[in-house]
Structure 1
Amino acid sequence: MSGCQSVIIPTANSLDHASNTLDSLEKLEAPPHETILVQNALPDDSRYRDFNRYTDFANHYKDIGLKIFFESTPGLLSGRHRGAAEATGDLLIFVDDDVTFASDWLSELSGVFDNPKIALAGGPSVPVFAYEPPQWLKNCWQSTPCGGRQMAQLSLLQLDTNDTIDVDPDLVWGLNYAIRRDALNTLGGFHPDCVPASLQHFQGDGETGLSQKITEAGRRAVYNPNAIVHHHIGPERMTKSYFDQRSFYQGVCNSYTEIRSGTDPTPLPDTEGSDRSFPPLQWARRLKRSLRPSVAQDDLPARFFRAYVRGFNFHRACVRSSPRLLQWVRQETYFDYHYPTLEPNFSPAPREVHDPADR
């Protein structure tokens, strides 16, 4: 598929933060004809809200057809759906603002859509660490059902194949996510994702929800090992505290998924004093969402599980206290991605990401 791709980059950061990604797009063997950068929920800081720079910045990247949009609604959902609405391509390719690309990434990724039966495609996301990772972080690599390895906490995925293969859509990840526009629209789009901490009760399961709908519709997804993105991992994400945050976040996501499917919003049992028991449904509901280190080291598996339970129960408590939030979780689509007004007496549950002993 050529001449009809739109690369979409949602970001809550400054324009300069995306420069490495945009520079890398320019250097592709076959650069995109259109690139959509959506800034959403920017801080009240002139370094971020430098709207006078938009024209000059876009002109600097005119060779990749850069268009910049500001979206006031915070969260990755609004960035993705605003980007899709502004894009003109039939193939929508969503990437993060902290990735760079193999030189043939776009041609490899878009080429699989020459097969009209394919609705979704992705490829490897390989790490570029700020420094040599500590051993505890290396232990978080896990195997996948297709061979190879994954580290969900850092959105890293490398399947063991030299050929393009059919995969569960859940193994196409949001930093390297190409989907036909008709599939995105027909299947209802993305779910809420990556909202600010103060709004985390609105968190959903992001591209996982859309991938599940692709599975239910019997549409095909493929993984092309040559469609490689390099995910740049800064020092702030190479910490146990950050992995706590990702575990908490995953608890919220899994709570959302289960409530949306009809489960009552009851909390997980108290895990105080638990060691390394991991309820299989909630902790690893999806192949890509298993966050346990594959090798136990010290108390890390139990620590991350406790953070997961806190996130799961935080979301359950919020939903139990707000019928309007329950309605939001179960609404059919989120093309209207603005957050609803909840009850006047609604107050989010305490958001306790870390155990005091883990800080």
Structure 2
Amino acid sequence: MPLLSVILPTYNPDLIRLGQTLDCLKTQTLPTEFWELLIIDNNSDSPVAGQIDTGWHPAARVIREPRQGLTFARLKGFLEANGNVAILVDDDNLLNENYLKLSLEIFEDHPGLGAAGGKSLPLFEYEQPAWLKEFYGNLALRDLGEQVIINAWEATYPITAPVGAGMVIRMDALKSYIKKITSQKEPISDRTGNSLSSGGDNDIVLEILKSGWQTGYFPMLSLIHIIPQQRTKTEYLARLINHTNKSWIRLLESHQINPWKKVADWTVPLRKMKAWLTYSSWKGPVNYIRWRGACGTFDGLARSNYLKK
């Protein structure tokens, strides 16, 4: 039985980027006998199985998940996994060659650790605008330095919590999350088709923390995140942050840790108009993106949205 399961969800992937991701998995220093590879085809228009080579790995499976959405794809991976530890890998992630080996060592050394992550560094396919760095966190990019940081549940969301790209999870720590997701009619909003909502990563982290496990940042875990030109464009980032902020409010409310008060629905258009002026949204990309983010927050705080659990 493998010690570790790599779960790689994908939906209509760019085959060149996916190929790069698989190439980095091929060169892992952890022998393949100790880990399995689960590629979750999340209802792609053309089945992924016939478009990629998995013959290099003796325990590779391509599994179809017809329910659209990243949450369902990951859940399928969790339910199919045979390892004691799982690693979530996106189809544009290039893992350092020691990523799998170090992950097992870290979890062996920290028995109370439920989830961990590390550095997610950018590889831009095209030259990025100078202002983009402000929004690195929204693109799942992070570098918190060289110090290990471990957090426990404190009725809040730790800023050092692992992002979804490269997140390492102890399967025993997922019991509460899996039970919740399998019993919900509509899980917390996450990426589905063209939707850019992204509450799923944080929902996993919160359920793990609330179950009494720790989460950690380990800088020795490092991956490269490929960023295509589309994701550096103003309108994409504005839509991303708008959707993310709205789903963030809903997530915090579902875990009863939302620090902000609800707002009356009728005030939302007025708040957006005021924010347009406050952020000087017409002055440039950064101002406009910040304003769209604020609009997402207002939509999330609207009383009617609190009914959508």
What is the TM-score of this pair, normalised by structure 1? Answer: 0.69
* Alignment match, 2:304: 320
Structure 2 residue 37 is matched with structure 1 residue 35: yes
Q: Is the 8 A contact 1:276 1:302 kept in 2?
A: no
CA positional deviation for 1:207:
1.6
CA positional deviation for 1:300:
3.6
Distance 1:50-1:176 versus aligned 2 partners, 3 A rule: closer
Aligned length: 284
- The partner residue of 2:292 within 303, 307, 310 is 307
State the alpha-carbon separation in 2 of the partners of residues 9 and 232 from structure 1.
Answer: 15
* Alignment match, 2:141: 156
1:327-338 paired onto structure 2 within 5 Å: 329=309
2:293 counterpart letter in structure 1: Y
- The partner residue of 2:213 within 216, 219, 231 is 219
* Alignment match, 1:96: 90
Distance 1:300-1:70 versus aligned 2 partners, 3 A rule: same
Partner of 2:22, secondary structure, is helix
CA positional deviation for 1:301:
4.1
Deviations 1:7-29 (A, max 9, x none): 00111124835221111101111
CA positional deviation for 1:305:
2.9
- Computed over aligned residues only, the root mean square deviation of the Cα atoms, in angstroms, reads 3.1
Deviations 1:111-141 (A, max 9, x none): 1111211111111000111133221213x16
Q: Is the 8 A contact 2:7 2:74 kept in 1?
A: yes
Q: Is the 8 A contact 1:108 1:224 kept in 2?
A: no
Bigger proportion of residues as helix: 2
State the alpha-carbon separation in 1 of the partners of residues 285 and 18 from structure 2.
Answer: 33
Structure 2 residue 191 is matched with structure 1 residue 194: yes
* Consecutive aligned runs of 4 or more in structure 1 exceeding 6 Å deviation: none
State the alpha-carbon separation in 1 of the partners of residues 262 and 228 from structure 2.
Answer: 38
2:140 counterpart letter in structure 1: S
* Alignment match, 1:57: 53
Identity value in percent: 22
State the alpha-carbon separation in 2 of the partners of residues 100 and 297 from structure 1.
Answer: 37
Partner of 2:122, secondary structure, is strand
For structure 2, the residue ranges without an aligned partner over 5 or more in a row are 152-157, 182-187
State the alpha-carbon separation in 2 of the partners of residues 266 and 9 from structure 1.
Answer: 41
Q: Is the 8 A contact 1:169 1:214 kept in 2?
A: no
Distance 1:50-1:227 versus aligned 2 partners, 3 A rule: closer
* Alignment match, 1:134: 129
Partner of 2:167, secondary structure, is strand
* Alignment match, 2:12: 13
What is the TM-score of this pair, normalised by structure 2? Answer: 0.80
